């Protein structure tokens, strides 16, 4: 779809690469007061994907909000990706999204058709997820931004946290890495159209199927891999669980085109923020190349789920996942706490 203005030219950052660094964010949030409520079982103090408030023994409310600047020029695809990314936080908690509200910032250069297309893309993905967009808020801004505030439901006994992995768990990742490197390189016309089409389809693919499969098994923890990258989100999981995560770099799925671009230095700024945040807790084997480490620090937009599943269920679960998500892979395991939070082999 051709538009009268390239959306990515109106923004300084793109997608989840616009996120404030995890280290900076944690320092800010640590200073904020918290209101204790026994029904709030997951709040912002947990560094988790969404908040969870218990309504009764069988029902808990899951809430999240996510929005960002354009990562593509096509407004419809931008709307799809931004909505998919926001809905993912509910899936990462094991929940089902039910209600959503638009968050939209528009510039004076954007036509009504462009704005409509962004919203239509969001509505399509919300509909696919089974969620209803009930309204929202739109303001003028210097840069375009779009996303959703999403509410969903989960059984409070089945809430999945990013801090509850257990020793012996196997780690499964459901989408390949390299999105940030590829979208950064695309700005310099270094990525072919077929590759761009592939990553746009990936970013607009809901994590609903992965969620529907994983809740059948003995899952202990989960998070979605977005702006803080595989290593940033793994670091949060390891720190919260007080365990060590071992990642097998040879098993981590990634877009092969991203590797050569990483070797050329086409690294988004967010990757350096992620490295600054997590590197102190990471030990990488000498056999793990710098380019591969950059891919693992690369900020993802609408990435996959990182799932901590019991070893006993891991074989059956990965088999079922691969039936519908062929790129899903076992990427590591969890052990008792070592000197490092993350060990990469």
Helical (H) or strand (E) element with 186: helix 179-186
Report the C-alpha gap between 111 and 116 in whole angstroms. 9
**Would you say 73 is a known binding-site residue?**
no
Cα distances from 262 to residues 47, 206, 265, 267, 295, in angstroms, run: 29, 27, 5, 6, 7
**Would you say 335 is a known binding-site residue?**
no
**Would you say 19 is a known binding-site residue?**
yes
**Would you say 226 is a known binding-site residue?**
no
- Per the CB < 8 A criterion, the answer to whether 223 and 319 are in contact is no
- Per the CB < 8 A criterion, the answer to whether 297 and 232 are in contact is yes
**Would you say 163 is a known binding-site residue?**
no
Choice among 13, 16, 105, 222 that is catalytic: 16
Q: How many CB atoms lie within 10 A of CB 116?
A: 13
Structure tokens at 52: 């969870």
**Would you say 45 is a known binding-site residue?**
no
Report the C-alpha gap between 259 and 201 in whole angstroms. 20
16 is catalytic: yes
| 3-class SS of residue 287 | coil
**Would you say 233 is a known binding-site residue?**
no
How would you list the strands of the sheet with 342-344, edge to edge? 219-224, 305-309, 170-173, 329-336, 243-247, 342-344, 282-284
**Would you say 224 is a known binding-site residue?**
yes
**Would you say 246 is a known binding-site residue?**
no
**Would you say 265 is a known binding-site residue?**
no
**Would you say 46 is a known binding-site residue?**
yes
Binding residue ranges for ATP: 19, 46-48, 66, 89, 136-138
Q: Active-site positions?
A: 16
Binding-site annotation, residues: 19, 46-49, 66, 89, 136-138, 224
């Amino acid at each position: 779809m051709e538009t009268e203005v390239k959306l990515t030219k109106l923004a300084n950052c793109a997608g989840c690469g616009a996120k404030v660094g995890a280290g900076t964010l944690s320092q800010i949030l640590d200073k904020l007061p918290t209101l204790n409520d026994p029904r709030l079982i997951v709040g912002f103090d947990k560094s988790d994907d969404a908040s969870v408030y218990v309504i009764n023994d069988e029902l808990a409310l899951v809430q999240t909000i996510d929005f960002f600047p354009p990562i593509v020029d096509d407004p419809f695809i931008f709307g799809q990706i931004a909505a998919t990314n926001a809905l993912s936080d509910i899936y990462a908690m094991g929940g089902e999204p039910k209600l959503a509200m638009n968050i939209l910032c528009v510039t004076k250069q954007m036509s009504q058709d462009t704005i409509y297309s962004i919203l239509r893309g969001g509505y399509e993905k919300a509909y696919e997820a089974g969620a209803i967009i009930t309204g929202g808020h739109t303001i003028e801004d210097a840069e375009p931004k779009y996303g959703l505030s999403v509410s969903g439901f989960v059984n409070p006994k089945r809430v999945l946290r990013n801090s509850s992995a257990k020793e012996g768990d196997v780690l499964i990742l459901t989408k390949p890495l390299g999105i940030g490197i590829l979208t950064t390189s695309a700005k310099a016309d270094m990525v072919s159209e077929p590759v761009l089409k592939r990553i746009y389809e990936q970013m607009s693919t809901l994590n609903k199927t992965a969620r529907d499969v994983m809740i059948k098994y003995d899952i202990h923890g989960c998070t979605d891999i977005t702006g803080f990258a595989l290593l940033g989100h793994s670091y949060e999981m390891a720190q919260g669980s007080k365990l060590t995560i071992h990642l097998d770099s040879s098993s981590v799925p990634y877009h092969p085109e991203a590797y050569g671009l990483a070797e050329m230095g086409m690294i988004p700024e967010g990757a350096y923020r992620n490295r600054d945040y997590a590197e102190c807790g990471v030990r990488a084997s000498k056999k793990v190349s710098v380019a591969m480490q950059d891919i693992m620090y690369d900020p993802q937009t609408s990435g996959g789920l990182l799932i901590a599943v019991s070893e006993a269920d891991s074989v059956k679960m990965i088999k079922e996942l691969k039936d519908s998500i062929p790129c899903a892979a076992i990427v590591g395991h969890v052990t008792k706490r070592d000197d490092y939070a993350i060990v990469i082999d």
